[in-house]
Amino acid sequence: MNDTIKTLCTRLAEAGFVAFAPDLYHGKVADTIADAETLSKALDANYHQARAEVAEATRFLNEQVGSADRGLAVIGFSLGASYALDISNTAPESIRSVVVFYGTWVEDLSHSRAAYLGHFAENDPFEPQSGVDKLAGYIRRLDRPVTFYRYSGTGHWFFEPDRTDAYNREAATIAWERTLTFLRKSLPLEAT
C-alpha cells in the first residue's frame, strides 16, 4: 500500500465517500519498475488468492456501509485495473461504478451492471491505444456506459505523485475531477 493509494483513500473520504483499499501485495511496495514487475508476477502467480481478497474486500465494505441498495465503486491502477474490471463482473450486484487508470486487461464483463470510466496516458508502453479501444468497444457492445479519456503528453503513472518521473499534475487534476463527477453521477447521493 503506497502513499498514492493511501492519499487516494483520504481524498475520497474528504469528498464524502467511504474508501477501503485491500493490500494485495501484503505490505510490499515497489520502488522501481523492476520491483513492480517482480511484485506483479508474484500477484499473477497467486491470481486466485488476489481475486478472493478483492471479493472479500467488497463484502467487507458492503457490511461496513450497508451499500447493498446503493452499490459500490471500484478504482484500479495499472495491474489493479484488471482486478477492478473483474470484480465488476463477478460481483455485479455490488459494483455499480468502475474507474480504471492505465489498465485494460479483463477476460469477461458479460455479467457486469457497472458504468465505466477510464484514464489513459498518451505515451504508454504498457497500455497501447489498441488495447484501450478494444476494451471500450467491448464494454459498448455489452451496452454498458463507458467513457475513456487519453491525456496528451502523459505516460504510465501520470496520476501518481510518488512517480516523479511520470506524474503530470495538470492531467492528474483533470482525471481526479472527472472521477469525482463520474462517481457522484453513477452512485446515489449517499453511496460509497
Walk me through the domains of the chain, giving residue ranges and CATH numbers: 3-186 (3.40.50.1820)
Mean pLDDT computed over 84-107: 95
* Cα 184 to Cα 15: distance, rounded to the nearest angstrom: 10
Q: Report the mean per-residue pLDDT for the chain.
A: 89
Mean pLDDT computed over 53-65: 85
Q: Find all residues with CB under 8 Å of 114, minimum gap 6, and list them.
A: 88, 92, 95, 96, 97, 98, 144
Confidence at residue 191, expressed as pLDDT on a 0 to 100 scale: 41
pTM tops 0.95: no
Give the least confident one: 20-24, 45-49, 50-54, 66-70. 66-70
* Cα 76 to Cα 100: distance, rounded to the nearest angstrom: 5
Q: Find all residues with CB under 8 Å of 133, minimum gap 6, and list them.
A: none
Is the pLDDT score of 163 beyond 80?
yes
